Structure 1
Amino acid sequence: MPASPTVDVHAHVLLPEIEALVDGLPGHAEAKALDARRNGPEALKVSGRMIGDRFARLTDVSARLAAMDAQGVDVQLVSPSPSHYHYWADEVTAEKAHRLANEATAAHCSAAPDRLRGLGLVPLQHPEQTVRALDHALDQGLLGIEISSHAPGRELSDPAYEPLWSRAEESGALVFLHPFGCTLDERLDRWYLSNSVGQPAENAVALSHLIFSGVLDRHPGLRIIAAHGGGYLPTHIGRADHAWRARTDAHACAREPSAYLRRLYFDSLVHDPYALGELVRVAGAERVLLGSDFPFDMGAEDPVGALRAAGLSDADLRAVRGGTAAALLRLWKD
């Protein structure tokens, strides 16, 4: 391990055994139909080819390591593809699925333990299972969990998730907030707006729920990493601050919303050097982590180059490239 490793906190693994488990179960066809409606037929066709082209990097450790070497990445934090959330599943299926995801992700990472760390899944649609699922992930040697921006009928501000936040805070688990699917539905079903617009919107909504509901006030030790640079929220946080000052109904959290940006972590995947510079300005370099969305087409093929393009200072570049993440991932404590 280099003294100053380059660490990518946003990388995925595809787990075909999860899809084999849920295939044909009640509710699966309806979930696939919803996904198709939200994305549109052209997006599904392009995504199918894209996954096929990247299948080896998503499943084979040797192919992953070769790609990491080409990118100059020393360590990845690997999370299951968000397509494996399956928040439609019933209690029994959900428990089987998250346990299988945790165990399969841990097995993938164990093939290169000096270079891969992992995250598991919890069934947000069944809040009563989430603490047990988190503990199972930690028992597998994973560093935490990946969650979406909401579950059907529940926002992340729902009181039913308080035990999950408490356990994540107590255990020091990482919580990687990565949306999958946008509730704007058919409004985004062309030109891949479901991702280019939908993902940043979902990030902003989910983070706003965590901030305004007081989750971050009640759990100041939570270690949440927001994918996609936190979406639209960090660069438009001034509007939230204004609402907090101007309106009693928005004056719900203890401090201005912008103050909470320095209590969260964000990946660097914003696809714009000026936006990345602004993210570093409002959140602090010590709260921004290199992220590539490896190996999907909406990711960064050269994530380190994207950092350099932002013109960060040497100290800020070192922190974002891996200095902060190395401590979060406990690279020297295993």
Structure 2
Amino acid sequence: MTAPPTVDVHAHVLLPAVEDLVEGLPGLSEARTLDARRNGPAALEVNRVMIGERVPRLTDPAVRLAAMDTQGVDIQLVSPSPSHYHYWAGEETAETLFRLANEATAEHCSAAPDRLRGLGLVPLQHPVLAVPALDDALARGLSGVEISSHAPGHELSDPAYEPLWNRAEETGALVFLHPFGCTLDERLDRWYLSNSVGQPTENAVALSHLIFSGVLDRHPGLRIVAAHGGGYLPTHIGRADHAWRTRPDAASGCAHPPSHYLRRLYFDSLVHDPHVLRELVRAAGAGRVLLGSDFPFDMGTPDPLGALRAAGLSDADFEAVRGGTAAGLLPRKD
């Protein structure tokens, strides 16, 4: 039998057309000010240089494919840089933005449709646009959509998102949960805590909203992939289970202990620690963990297969994470 391809489900594309669209619009300046507060000046300067060095890998399909060959990656699931969310945008701009982002991502992936699969964007700040955005992404041949951990005034447990979960479940679309920004704000504005602490915190909060509110009970067929190994939640799920068992308020929204739902979610492998990766596989099952690199950003790994090997998994578990499970989630494109 032919081995399944190696699939990296966490890789990004930069879309200059999106930034051209929002430049100068009311709200952008305030959003940039908030971003500066949350990250601090040192992080912003490092980010500026880091991203500048990586623009070819973020925008040129040929450069991307060459890098994939070096890594031993056969297929990438490419999602827009989370900096393109722009959840501050009004409804009209948000609709133009998601269509532009979906079109540009699909065009980027069309350079090598057998190796590049794409995800679109959903303007979570306008729940009424969520289903049209998903449908637009699917109509362009994308595999689903990427979302953040929340939008202003909306957690993922908000009933306003029920149509999105219904449609994603109905179509089998992938929903890639990738936070951008942490609401702890200035408490994380030094030493890049905004990312090293903020991202796993946001993942844990967002997944907890999906679990405790009963979203995963109502939509057992949802295919949600959580970036960064799901953050702190999978390896600290015992505390959530204890709350569910001992407190009626914690148990009021979902039918099972929170750990039950880890096997209804998918997680990427990007946890930067072989011991944590082994624990993630133990908690969620190898069939729920997918290879992820965060290509090509500095908080990712340039050697996702090496990081996976370091975890010392069984051959069967290694092959599932390497690409076996992802091959079943991403239909072939001939």
- TM-score range with shorter-chain normalisation? over 0.9
Task: Identify the residue that residue 77 of structure 1 maps to in structure 2.
Answer: 77
Mapped partners of 1:301, 1:113: distance in 2: 23
Q: 1:176 is paired with a residue of what secondary structure?
A: strand
Q: For 1:116, give the aligned amino acid.
A: L
Q: For 1:109, give the aligned amino acid.
A: C
Where structure 1 has 5 or more consecutive residues not aligned to the other structure, the ranges are: none
Q: Does 1:184 align with 2:184?
A: yes
Task: Identify the residue that residue 297 of structure 2 maps to in structure 1.
Answer: 296
Task: Identify the residue that residue 144 of structure 1 maps to in structure 2.
Answer: 144
Structure 1 runs (4+) deviating above 6 angstroms are none
Q: Any idea what the Cα deviations from partners look like across 1:11-44, whole Å, max 9, x if unmatched?
A: 0000011000000000010001100110000000
Task: Tell me how far 1:221 sits from its aligned partner.
Answer: 0.3
Q: Does 1:316 align with 2:317?
A: yes
Task: Identify the residue that residue 105 of structure 2 maps to in structure 1.
Answer: 105
Q: For 2:199, give the aligned amino acid.
A: Q
Q: For 1:301, give the aligned amino acid.
A: P
Task: Identify the residue that residue 171 of structure 1 maps to in structure 2.
Answer: 171
Mapped partners of 1:250, 1:115: distance in 2: 43
Mapped partners of 2:69, 2:43: distance in 1: 30
Mapped partners of 1:213, 1:20: distance in 2: 38
Number of residue pairs matched by the alignment: 332
Task: Identify the residue that residue 117 of structure 2 maps to in structure 1.
Answer: 117
Task: Tell me how far 1:330 sits from its aligned partner.
Answer: 1.1
Task: Tell me how far 1:3 sits from its aligned partner.
Answer: 3.6
Q: Does 1:268 align with 2:269?
A: yes
Task: Identify the residue that residue 259 of structure 1 maps to in structure 2.
Answer: 260
Mapped partners of 1:300, 1:164: distance in 2: 32
Task: Identify the residue that residue 218 of structure 2 maps to in structure 1.
Answer: 218
Mapped partners of 2:298, 2:16: distance in 1: 19
Q: Does 1:245 align with 2:237?
A: no
Mapped partners of 2:329, 2:104: distance in 1: 22
Mapped partners of 1:209, 1:185: distance in 2: 20
Q: Does 1:285 align with 2:286?
A: yes
Q: 2:200 is paired with a residue of what secondary structure?
A: helix
Q: 1:183 is paired with a residue of what secondary structure?
A: coil
Mapped partners of 1:296, 1:290: distance in 2: 16
Q: For 1:156, give the aligned amino acid.
A: L
Task: Tell me how far 1:4 sits from its aligned partner.
Answer: 1.8
Mapped partners of 2:213, 2:219: distance in 1: 11
Q: RMSD value over aligned CA atoms?
A: 0.7
Q: For 1:321, give the aligned amino acid.
A: R
TM-score, scaled relative to structure 1: 0.99
Mapped partners of 2:17, 2:131: distance in 1: 23
Mapped partners of 1:111, 1:280: distance in 2: 34
Q: Any idea what the Cα deviations from partners look like across 1:167-204, whole Å, max 9, x if unmatched?
A: 00001000000000000000000000000000000000
Mapped partners of 1:310, 1:202: distance in 2: 25
Structure 1 residues 26-105: aligned runs within 5 Å: 26-105=26-105
Q: 1:250 is paired with a residue of what secondary structure?
A: coil
Q: 1:55 is paired with a residue of what secondary structure?
A: helix
Task: Tell me how far 1:297 sits from its aligned partner.
Answer: 0.1
Task: Identify the residue that residue 18 of structure 2 maps to in structure 1.
Answer: 18
Where structure 2 has 5 or more consecutive residues not aligned to the other structure, the ranges are: none
Task: Identify the residue that residue 328 of structure 1 maps to in structure 2.
Answer: 329
Mapped partners of 1:282, 1:4: distance in 2: 24
Task: Identify the residue that residue 156 of structure 1 maps to in structure 2.
Answer: 156
Q: 1:248 is paired with a residue of what secondary structure?
A: coil
Mapped partners of 1:4, 1:90: distance in 2: 43
Q: Any idea what the Cα deviations from partners look like across 1:135-165, whole Å, max 9, x if unmatched?
A: 0000000010000000001100000000000
Task: Tell me how far 1:69 sits from its aligned partner.
Answer: 0.5
Mapped partners of 1:183, 1:4: distance in 2: 40
Q: 2:302 is paired with a residue of what secondary structure?
A: coil
Q: 2:297 is paired with a residue of what secondary structure?
A: coil
Q: Any idea what the Cα deviations from partners look like across 1:207-240, whole Å, max 9, x if unmatched?
A: 0000000000000000000000000000000000
Mapped partners of 1:122, 1:239: distance in 2: 32
Q: For 1:318, give the aligned amino acid.
A: E
Q: 2:296 is paired with a residue of what secondary structure?
A: coil
Task: Tell me how far 1:266 sits from its aligned partner.
Answer: 0.1
TM-score, scaled relative to structure 2: 0.99
Structure 1 residues 202-217: aligned runs within 5 Å: 202-217=202-217
Q: Any idea what the Cα deviations from partners look like across 1:81-106, whole Å, max 9, x if unmatched?
A: 00000000000100000000000000
Mapped partners of 1:181, 1:329: distance in 2: 28
Task: Identify the residue that residue 9 of structure 1 maps to in structure 2.
Answer: 9
Mapped partners of 1:326, 1:110: distance in 2: 19
